[in-house]
């Protein structure tokens, strides 16, 4: 048997025991088909107590009788969404009516449901990906539920951070619904269409909206003189690790709960490191630092944004290659970036004509050239990417120390 409260079997049993139940359910299912928003409560008249008990069983809530004998019941939150009524619509023969709709009818219903969000609905209606999905009649009901929820909760009222599992449960009463498959793709398409046709990849798009795959598998590795407060308690293990010359990790789930953070460093400076070995050196030197582990994940970005409140001077250390430059600019989006060591390393290696760096492969050249020619490419990255092409080499972060030592030796400072 289906675990949906309004599944066909449960409806048939209720109607068999108390036939007047059918009139109530048919009326409510008809509202869903017409795109009418279900009320927070409803009133039914002419029902005996058998019908009342069956409705209470189906809806999982208790009703009460008014002075005139009419039954008043609250509409459970999980039954306010159209997708919860799919079996009821089929039971009462409304499936054909829904199938006769076009994609434009779906957008029209969405405009009726959200009359103050016409611009957003228009953006969705212009998406080829969304229109292709809605060309199949059996996709339209759940898509309408998804689109309505997203527009209400992310573009009218911004909801707090969540996971794909929780989002699927909130919208469809099914935690697996948005973990994979067509509806997950439509979630991305809806965000992309509204955000001016954003070309960000799925992970960046979802994380930018506060939606995460699993907030316990994403974490930040750091060595910094901080304490933080979460859940009404103060946690001092980061500064304790820092004072012992050790790094620690904080999962994204914990970062999301942080209400206050305090900085105890003598200097207002922190270094972000792309690679592990240089990060270990920074830890052993007692330099406040954060490990990005390549491109920064959601936990790293959120942690850096919280650190930015202290007006820290951030220095990024990463490879002098296209990815290293792009990583530096992602760091810049999170915290005030004062210095990028890769830019300086490339500059001095070329100016001093050092025998440094690793020759670019043909694939690296093609990728860099494509970025340089890309419309809207970051001006800093484009400039240094052109220098890479001209020089024909890239530099590992681990080689920076020797380059800066050569610069100091030749300049005498």
Question: Does residue 104 contact residue 139 with C-beta atoms inside 8 Å?
Answer: no
| Beta strands in 135-288, from DSSP E residues, in sequence order | 162-163, 211-212, 219-223, 226-230, 233-235, 248-251, 258-263, 269-273
Q: Which of 34, 94, 101, 29 is nearest to 58 (CA)?
A: 29
Report the distance separating Cα 248 and Cα 237, nearest Å. Answer: 8
In the chain, which residues have pLDDT < 70? 1-4, 34-35, 94-101, 158-160, 196-199, 412-413
Q: Residue 198 has what pLDDT?
A: 59
Q: Residue 100 has what pLDDT?
A: 55
Residues 6+ apart with CB under 8 A from 122: none
Question: Does residue 273 contact residue 296 with C-beta atoms inside 8 Å?
Answer: no
Q: Residue 143 has what pLDDT?
A: 92
Q: Residue 325 has what pLDDT?
A: 96
The residue written with tokens 């199938």 in the block is 99
Q: Residue 220 has what pLDDT?
A: 96
User: What are the sequence ranges of the domains in the chain?
Assistant: 8-91, 101-212, 219-411
| Residues 223, 227, 230, 233, CA torsion sign | positive
| Beta strands in 52-114, from DSSP E residues, in sequence order | 64-65, 71-74
Highest CATH level, class, for 219-411 = alpha beta
The tokens of 219 are what? 């974490």
Strands 162-163 and 211-212: parallel
Q: Residue 233 has what pLDDT?
A: 95
Question: Does residue 74 contact residue 81 with C-beta atoms inside 8 Å?
Answer: no
Q: Residue 3 has what pLDDT?
A: 57
DSSP state of 164: H
Q: Residue 2 has what pLDDT?
A: 46
Question: Does residue 372 contact residue 385 with C-beta atoms inside 8 Å?
Answer: yes
- pTM exceeds 0.75, yes or no: no
Q: Residue 35 has what pLDDT?
A: 66
| Beta strands in 139-257, from DSSP E residues, in sequence order | 162-163, 211-212, 219-223, 226-230, 233-235, 248-251
């Amino acid at each position: 048997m289906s675990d949906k409260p309004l599944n066909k079997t449960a409806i048939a049993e209720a109607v068999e025991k108390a036939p007047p139940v059918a009139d109530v359910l048919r009326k409510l299912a008809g509202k869903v088909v017409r795109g009418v928003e279900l009320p927070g409560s409803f009133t039914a008249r002419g029902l005996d107590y058998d019908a009342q008990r069956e409705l209470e069983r189906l809806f999982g809530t208790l009703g009460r009788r008014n002075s005139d004998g009419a039954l008043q019941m609250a509409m459970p939150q999980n039954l306010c969404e159209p997708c919860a009524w799919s079996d009821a619509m089929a039971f009462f023969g409304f499936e054909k009516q829904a199938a006769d709709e076009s994609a434009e009818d779906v957008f029209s219903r969405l405009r009726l449901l959200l009359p103050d969000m016409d611009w957003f609905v228009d953006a969705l209606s212009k998406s080829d990906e969304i229109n292709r999905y809605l060309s199949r009649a059996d996709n339209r009901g759940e898509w309408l539920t998804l689109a309505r929820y997203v527009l209400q909760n992310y573009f009218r009222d911004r909801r707090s951070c969540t996971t794909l599992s929780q989002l699927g449960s909130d919208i469809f009463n099914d935690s697996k619904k948005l973990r994979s498959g067509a509806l997950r793709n439509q979630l991305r398409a809806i965000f992309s269409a509204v955000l001016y046709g954003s070309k960000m990849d799925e992970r960046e798009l979802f994380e930018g909206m506060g939606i995460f795959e699993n907030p316990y598998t994403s974490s930040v590795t750091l060595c910094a003189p901080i304490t933080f407060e979460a859940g009404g308690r103060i946690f001092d293990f980061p500064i304790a690790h820092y004072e012992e010359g050790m790094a620690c990790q904080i999962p994204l789930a914990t970062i999301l709960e942080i209400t206050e953070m305090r900085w105890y460093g003598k200097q207002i400076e922190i270094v972000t490191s792309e690679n592990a070995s240089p990060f270990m050196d920074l830890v052993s030197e007692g330099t406040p630092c954060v490990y990005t582990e390549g491109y920064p994940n959601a936990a790293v970005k959120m942690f850096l944004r919280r650190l930015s409140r202290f007006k820290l001077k951030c220095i990024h250390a990463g490879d002098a290659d296209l990815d290293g430059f792009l990583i530096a600019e992602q760091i810049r989006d999170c915290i005030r970036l004062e210095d990028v060591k890769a830019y300086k390393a490339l500059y001095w290696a070329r100016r001093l004509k050092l025998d440094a760096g690793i020759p670019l492969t043909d694939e690296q050249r093609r990728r860099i050239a494509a970025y340089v020619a890309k419309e809207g490419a970051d001006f800093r990255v484009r400039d240094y990417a052109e220098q890479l092409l001209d020089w024909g080499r890239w530099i590992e972060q681990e080689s920076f120390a020797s380059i800066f030592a050569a610069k100091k030796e030749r300049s005498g400072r």
